[in-house]
Structures are given as C-alpha cells and as structure tokens.
Structure 1
Amino acid sequence: MALRYKYKQPLILFLCAFVSLWFIGSSCKNHNHPDKKIFHYNESSGLASLDPAFAKNKQVMWSTHQLYNTLIEIDSNMQMQPSLATHWNISEDNLVFTFILRNDVFFTDDACFTNGKGRKLTAHDVEYSFKRIIDKSTASPGAWIFNNRVDSVNGFTAINDTTFQLKLISPFQSILGILSMQYCSIIPKEAVEKYKTDFRRHPVGTGPFSFVAWEEGQALILKKNENYFEKDAEGRSLPYLDGIKVSFYDSKATEFLEFQQNRLDFIDDIDPSFKDEVLTKTGNLKKTWLDKIELHKHPYLNIEYLGILVDGENELVKNSPLRFQKIRQAINYGFNRKKMMLYLRNSIGIAAESGFVPAGLPSFDSVAVPGYHYDIDKAKQLLAEAGYPNGKNLPEIKLLTIPIYGDLGTYIANELLQVGIKVQVEVIQKSLLMEQTSKSQAPFFRGSWIADYPDAENYLGVFYGKNPAPPNYTRYKNADFDLLYEKALSEKNDSLRYKLYQQMDRIIISDAPVVPLWYDMAIHLVHLNIQNFYPNSLNLLELRRVKKL
C-alpha cells in the first residue's frame, strides 16, 4: 500500500476541504501546485500540544515557533535581538527590566475576538502570558523559568499598552535568554478563556503562520499570516512560504522514504540505520547523494558526557575509586574522542577537548578553557599517583548507559582497559537511568545537557552547589566555583561575564566530576529547491525566510 494512503478516509476529506481553498496537502494531489509553496516536514515523535506553556520538547517548540512571537529572539549568531519588543532598559541594580513593545503587531483573526477580527497586541498580553506560566492551575512544565527569580507579587506589570516591566528577586542576567524561550510566547487572554483546555489545539498567536487544522497523529496544517508584522530588507512581507504541513509518521524508515520521494522537504537528523548509506565516516554526503540533496551541519547546544557522582557523604561514593580526582582525570585522558567521533558518529559532532560549555555559545573558547585530549601515558601516570599502578588493585567501575549509546560505552570501556581501568557497561532504559541519577544512585553514568537558552550559565548551573539533582546530577560542590557563579549572575558586561564562565569551566575540568564526550551538531538533509534554510544552534526550526522553488 502506498504510504500516502495511510491516512484515514475522513482525514483525507477533511484536509481536502482546505486544499480547495489554498492547495495544501500531498494526499490531494496538490503537493506541487505552482502557485502555492508549502513546506513539508515530519515529526516522528508526534505532537502533544500547540500551547506554548507546554513547549518542553522540540516537537512543541518547532510548531509554536511558527505560530507565536516572544519579546526577544535569538539570531543565527546566538545574539539576542528584538522581536515583539523594540528595545529594553535595565535598572542600575539589575532587578528591573523595562520593555518597549512594537505598535504594529496583531493577533490572527479568530472567533475569540469581537467580530472575529484579530486585535492589536499590548503589554497586558505579555503580563497575562507570563502570569499564566507560573499559575499553578496552568500546570506548565515551564514554570521553573520564573520560580525563585521573579518577584511573585509585582514581577510582571503592564505600565501601559506599549510598556512592560519585569522585576527580579535578585540579579539574573540570563533572564533575557529565558525570555526568548517558547514558553514565553505571547498569547491573548480571550483565546484561553474561550477554548479553555482545548486551547492546546486551537492556537491564536501573532507569528508568521496561523493555524488551519490539526488531526492528532495525522497532520498539522498552518498557513501564511497575511498580516505578519516583519518584512525583509527589501520591504517584502514575511514569510515567503504559503504554508506548512507537518506529518506524523512514527517510523524513521517511512520518514526517510518520504524524503527520498520528495514528499518531505527536509529531515532532522539521520536515523542510525541510514547513517552509513548517506554519510561518509568524515561526515560528508556520499557521492550518490551529492546532486540530490544538501547536507546542513552546524553546532547544536548540547553536550554528551559521562557524569561522576562526587558527593562525599553518599555511601556509593565513599566506596568508589571515582572519589579520587586523579582517577577521574585518568579516565578523561584515557580514550580517544576523535576516533570515537569518526567511527561511531560519522564525525557528527566535535570531540569535547575543551570544557563542559559546548561550542556554539559566544563564550566558548577552547584556548581559554583547555580540556582533556587522548594521552595514555598521562592517564597511566595519574593512575600510579592515585595508588593504582597500571590499574593494579583498582576495583571494576560500572558505567550506566541507555540502549542507543551502548556502543559508545563499549568503545570507552575497551579504550580504558588499555590504561588499566576496567569498566563494566550496563545498559538500562532511559527512564530508569533518569530515576537513578535524580536520586543520586548512579555513581558513573552517561548524560547529556541541552541548552534552554543561549548562555553558558545554562551549563554551569549544573554544578552550582545549591542546586539539587536535577540539574546537579553529580552533586558537585565547590565554594570557589559557587562564588564565581553568583558573581556572573549579576554581571551585565558580556566580556567580563564570559571570563567568569571560563574560570568556572576550568575548575570543572580540573575537578573532573564529568567526562566531556562531544559537543553536538545538528544535521539536516534538505532538498535542493529549498533556500534560506538556516536553523540556529538551539536547533529551532526557522521558516520565516525560507523559499521553496
């Protein structure tokens, strides 16, 4: 049976009703209509909500990014730029942030408004949207972004229609990055009051695209917002596309086949089963694909690492050789990260030979923060200094990992064996690993950390002594580190703050509560008729300026 006929008959009729208006949907034979430019992509993990208050994963983030705007956005260089706000001011004590809003932004037309006509966005919408996030009745997984940071009484205030004010409890410079998150998308109160819990599937925003239809598990359809406020450098209205269609094939094999047959315009990442078919070991397209598709690679703000529990009060740590700093350092020196990336990752990612803060952030500097590189002699020297020459009498160490990283665990174990460190790799389910790390029951484990916002504080907060697990899964505590972290929170000067971040990162590398593996890389396969497709290091799907030829 052809893949395009997997949809149920009612859905086909449902979608075709919209196709008759603006020619959308491959199932209705208008996929290549010359007058309409529709961007097609797939979400194999499905979509739980279109409410930005629940934008906790990539699937919801990508969809809500097309439908809504935030006060601030992040550009391709990871710099903060105005979006709904034209500019902002920060008080001398770093506690009050005042935002001046654009005066030409309108919500899309919807039945929730008087006469169904979208109204102008105001600062009152910003106040409402942010208060809704921390409202317990909303039960937003994003409430943490403001908890213990924003004044609970007067934290959010609309001074007038175009001026919004945010008040912090204590200085926290990263608040600007937080305001760029999809959780902080601005929504109208009328829509929430009209649709109540169904707002999750009836979004009303100010974004470049507006909602048409969503048949859960089947397809999501968005159309161009004809009244969108942004224009390009030549004064042309954005977006260039006429619409977006998202499919929900749960099979990566089906997704790849759809892409091959030009029914998807791009795919995000490559399933391991197709990796060697498409990519060389050096991470480039194989010759058979060169004239068919483009390969887009760029830094992705995620670090893969091995975590080491270092809480001296924990009984598991008291009896573990990993309590010794030199053993942890020996592990860091004892395996070849570059070879690992070449043979197990097809060079997708960068060997983590600097700090815990990954490449792609403005503060990243591999010279200022030298990390670990493969040095078997140095590893053996450290073992001997720790009292275990050539690993003699060193107890076996258990490494916990999840199924998709089992091969990496085996590789590292084999490499460390040459040093004299015996590692037993135990593969468990992700949910169990998360539970054990959260309860400080995993002495040695594989982990990853994806940025919520583009600031190194997002990574260094993982080691702040006052933070519990999560995010401090290693239970690391260092008084000097904590003082630097607290100082960085209130430092407005970027250059000075970056130097503080680098100081902290050097401390982490020296103490070695983690073994950095690689700085991740986002990889996209894109058809040749797609132009201006440039996601950023947060791997956020940006379609405002995309053109489809």
Structure 2
Amino acid sequence: MRGLVSLSAVLILFIIISCEKTEDKDNRPLSEKSGGKLIIAEIVKPLSLYPQKLTRIEEALICNQIYEPLIRLNAKTLKLIPAIAEKWEVSPDGKHITFYLRKGVKFHDDPCFKSGKGREITTADIKYTFEKLCVNNETNYHFYTICNDRIVGAKEYNEAMKSYKEGDNQRPEIKGLKIIDDYTFSIDLMYPNYDSFLQLLATPIAAIIPKEGYEQYKDKLDFGAGPYKIDKKSSNESQLVLIKNPHYYATDPDGYALPYIDTIIIKYFENTEDAVTAFLNHQVDVVNDIPNNAAKRVVENHIHSFQKVPPEYIIDVSSQMMVQYILINTHLYPFNNVKVRRAINYALDRNKIIERAFNGQALPGIHGITPPAFKNYDVNQIKGYDLDIQKAKELLAQAGYPNGKGFPTVTIYTTKGFSKIQIAINEIQRQLKENLNINVIFESLPLDIKFHLEQKNKGHFFRQGWVADFPSPENFLNLFYGKYITLDTSKVFFPNTQRYINPVYDEWFEKGRDAVNKDSAYKYFMKAEQILMDDAPLIVLWYEAFYRLYNNKIKDLHMNPMRYYDLRLAYINDK
C-alpha cells in the first residue's frame, strides 16, 4: 500500500511538472520563419518602462514590443494599422471616433491576475488606461500631449480627480469617453484634429495597461499585451531579454503566429565603439545610430563582408525625423536676455561642427527645430541662425558683455556614451571661446541625473536630441508648448523640460494643432516656429542621417525616419 501511494505521488508530481513545462508552449501554427534570437546593441538604458513615463526613443523600442496599443504603425510606411482596435470610424466632422476592439486579445500572464493567467482585454481596460492618461501627475508625463485640449472633458476630469478620494459616492467620468459595450467605445475630440490623435494612440505612451498590474506594481509596471514579455530571470544590468508571448493574437497573412523571433536581447554598452566591436565579433546583430566615421571604418576594414553575394553585413543610411539641439534655460541669468541667446546662435559655425563630428554627413540646423522631413512643410522659409560673428559680437555687447567681458562660465550637460556628440561639443566650446570669448565647459552625465537637473531648472545648456513620436511638425513644436507650464520644480513637465513659456508662440501652436486640415495646420505651425526661432530658447545644431549596422541574416527589419521598431515581422534567415 505504501508503495502504491508513493507511485501515485510520483505520477501526480510528473503531471504537475509536465503542465508547468507546457503551459507557456506556443500552440499556434508556426511559420518556417519562426525561431531564433536577435541581439540589439544600445547605449542608453531605459529610465522607465511604464508607458506613461516614457521619455526616450530607446525606451520606446522596448515598450513597442512588450505593450500593445489600440493602433500600431506600419514600420515600413508609417501608416496606421489595427492592433487591439481591429477598426475605427471617424465622423464627418472629424470630432467623434468609434473604436471596435478585437476579441481574444490577452494581457501577459502575471501573478497580479487570478491564477496568474492573463485575461482578455475589454473596454473596461480602455477606460482604465484613459483615466490614467487624463490625470496630470508624477506617473504620467503625457497628459498635455494626448488628453488636455484634445479629449472632451479630459481637463475637467483632471481637475475633479484632484479632490476625489476612493470611497466617494460618485467617481468623476471623462465626458468624451463613452463605453458602448465590452468591445466598442467612442471618443469625442474638442477639435477635428483626429489624424494626429490617432497617430498619438499608435505610440507606446498610449498602450493599454491592466488595472491589476498598475495596482500591484504602480509605475514599475513592465508588461502589457505585446508580442514579447520580459524574461526577468535572464535580464540584468548589462542586458534586457524579451521572450515571445505565446498567447499573442496576431498572425501573418498566411495565418502563422507572430512574432517570428523567439528571443530579443537588448545589450547595453558604454559607447558606440564598444557596440561596433561586439558586432564585428558576432556578439550582437544590430547596432543603431553609429557615427558615420565609424561606419566608414567598418566598411573599409571589412569590405569583403559587404561585397559577398549576398552580403554578410549591411549599413542602412536614411534621413530622419530627428534634430539635435541645445536647450537654453531662459529663466537663468544671463540667458533670460534674448540678445545673449541670439548672440550664441550667431556665433556658431554649424558646418564646421558637422565636419568635425560627422565628416560633413548631416545638414546644418540653420532653420528651425523641425527637420526637413515633411512634405509641404518648407523649413527653408524659417529664418534661423547661420554664422555671423560680427552680429554675434554686437548683440553680446548690447547685452552688456563687450568681447565677453564679465560673462559667466557656461556648462553644457550631455548624456554619456556618444562619441560624435562629444566631438561636436568640443567644437562648440572652441568656437564660443574664439568668437565671443565665452568660456564653456561640458559634463557628460547618466541620463537620469541629466533629466533630474532639467526638471529642477538647474543648468544653462542641455544637449538634446528628438526623434518624432508621430510624423508631423507638431511633434517637434510641442517641445516648447508652455501654456500649462509653471516654474514649480516639484512638478515634472515633459516634453517641455526647460519650462519655456511664450503665450504668443502657444497661440499659434494651438491654431496649428487644432486645425481642420494639414494645409492650415502647416501655415500656423510655420508662424509658431518663426516666433520660436526669433526668441531663441534653443540652439538648433543639425539634422542628421541615421546609420544602422546589421547582420544580413536579419530579414524584414524595416527602417523608417522615426526609428519606429515593430519586430513582429522580422525573422532570422541562417541559411
């Protein structure tokens, strides 16, 4: 009898172990493309993987894979495509959108759910997500971008939630958000700018999140319903490991399960040179944003790998919806004087900076903040700043600093790890000393410390780069929209981290943002951008091309001007 009990126990244990091993097995039909591992090199580690706190393109790369939004972008064309919402309908006046959810989309398995199993997404999750997005607080940096002045009732909901306490008889509601049934809801917009609103919904900041997950993890939440989930056992300080979500809803045109690749590894390096070395040693498959001089060396030293048929290595080069610039803190002396800001702008030879840092392979930022990447938005009409040393000296003298006399030493803060940026700042340092007798020092900081200094309004200059979240000049001009900005440093403001405030600029920006069509929007945006450049709260440095080095075994890894990654259709071909 004892032996029989023991045998039964062994059988039960075997069944339990077998179930544990197979519960995450992908039982969907798999393509011949399925399988393999993709290793991507990055320099900057994420500060947050909570959608509503995203601030960096490197964070978006990860969040595009682990979360699922209502809508996605086609990575090849940047056109809107269905995701959780399988379709949507826009009213003739452009102010009412009805969304129809796909049935059967589930959150990742997680202990926050009953029995640890991810549940189906319904409109209750849409409501919960938008209620989070429509509250301006320390865990949501994007209230003013997505909700305020866009969704009917968002502003009022945000105000009402300031006094609401759990247990109150009636919870505030967002007037413009209507739940029709478990799979249908609608949103009313204040203005007929539905196109930019839909594009915002395709960004990871609007990804749908589970109530159970947020209540348990708050802004440390790091899972959603995306094609991949984080493998926390394999992830550490030097790498983030993503594994395929076996319950992901999407399939390819032939009905095979997506994504194809089993494992995505994001490996972190101190600098781009180390990342390129790792690539050449076959330790990584993709290196993003490599300096063009490094790209040139790789080609020259490994020409055989590029000349094979088919080639082993490929370097993609494309123009970007991206700009590099320096933020000027207009609230600190002496940069509260517009003449000083303009003098600095006129004193810089951007072509020489580009020659030193990029071997001339970039466009000088002599117009506005918007890169020359948008059809029918002619940035050449924006009068920015080109080298004019005489005018720079005159303006500085008029501001009370003839030949730089009495001007304080200025610090430029930048982020660690990018050699081309260091070269560029060295050249800026040299030019400002030579042309205006201004002493400049620079300090390379970890991203979190630099972000903290910006938010606390400490420091004169901050080197920044911005890649479009959605394909419109609005995305770049929004960096300086300040209607709701205050100088209260206990509050976080993003993306206007420098707290630039100019009511005239805001007025024209709003006219463009709320315009009924693109032609009208562009006209107003051009006006706003010229006001911005005249006020000079920044130094536009350059608009650059993007160099990406990757192994040719990686297929369908589409490149686009936004650096928008959708890895669902990428696959490994080792044959």
Q: TM-score, normalised by structure 1?
A: 0.74
Which amino acid is the alignment partner of residue 179 of structure 2?
Answer: A
Distance 2:329 2:119 in 1: 53
Distance 1:99 1:216, change over 3 A: same
Unmatched runs of 5 consecutive residues or more in structure 2:
1-19, 27-31, 158-171, 488-492
What does 1:13-52 align with in structure 2 at a 5 Å threshold? 36-43=35-42, 45-46=44-45, 52=51
Distance 1:50 1:339, change over 3 A: closer
Residue number among 382, 390, 397 corresponding to 1:380 in the alignment: 390
Alignment match, 1:422: 437
Alignment match, 1:547: 571
Give percent identity, aligned residues only: 23
Alignment match, 2:345: 332
Asked if structure 2 preserves the Cα contact closer than 8 Å seen for 1:401 and 1:433, the reply is: no
Alignment match, 2:474: 457
Distance 1:297 1:398, change over 3 A: farther
Which amino acid is the alignment partner of residue 527 of structure 1?
Answer: N
Which amino acid is the alignment partner of residue 67 of structure 1?
Answer: I
Which amino acid is the alignment partner of residue 128 of structure 1?
Answer: Y
Residue number among 425, 430, 434 corresponding to 1:409 in the alignment: 425
Which amino acid is the alignment partner of residue 494 of structure 1?
Answer: K
Distance 1:137 1:432, change over 3 A: closer
Q: 1:241 deviation in Å?
A: 2.3
Alignment match, 2:3: none
Unmatched runs of 5 consecutive residues or more in structure 1:
1-16, 24-32
What does 1:140-539 align with in structure 2 at a 5 Å threshold? 140=140, 145=145, 148-149=148-149, 150=151, 151=154, 152=157, 153-155=172-174, 156-167=177-188, 174-189=196-211, 196-197=216-217, 203-205=223-225, 207-209=226-228, 214-217=233-236, 220-223=241-244, 225=246, 228-232=249-253, 235-237=254-256, 239=258, 241-252=260-271, 255-270=275-290, 276-279=293-296, 285-286=299-300, 288-289=302-303, 290-291=306-307, 292-310=312-330, 316-317=334-335, 322-324=337-339, 328-347=341-360, 349-361=362-374, 364-374=377-387, 376=388, 379-381=389-391, 383-384=393-394, 393-395=403-405, 396=407, 398-402=409-413, 405=421, 407-416=423-432, 420-428=435-443, 430=445, 437-438=454-455, 442-443=459-460, 446-466=463-483, 467-468=485-486, 470=493, 471-472=495-496, 477-539=501-563
Which amino acid is the alignment partner of residue 477 of structure 2?
Answer: L
Matched residues, number: 500
SS at match of 2:68: coil
RMSD value, Cα: 4.3
SS at match of 1:279: helix
Distance 1:457 1:178 in 2: 11
Distance 2:77 2:410 in 1: 36
SS at match of 1:400: strand
Distance 1:355 1:504, change over 3 A: same
Distance 1:510 1:160, change over 3 A: same
Q: 1:356 deviation in Å?
A: 0.9
Deviations 1:40-82 (A, max 9, x none): 2245555676654554444543233223321222344444444
Asked if structure 1 preserves the Cα contact closer than 8 Å seen for 2:57 and 2:467, the reply is: no
Distance 1:287 1:477, change over 3 A: same
Distance 1:123 1:142 in 2: 21
SS at match of 1:303: strand
Alignment match, 1:27: none
SS at match of 2:439: strand
Deviations 1:103-126 (A, max 9, x none): 464556778778887665432332
Distance 1:481 1:402, change over 3 A: closer
Asked if structure 2 preserves the Cα contact closer than 8 Å seen for 1:474 and 1:513, the reply is: no
Which amino acid is the alignment partner of residue 39 of structure 1?
Answer: L
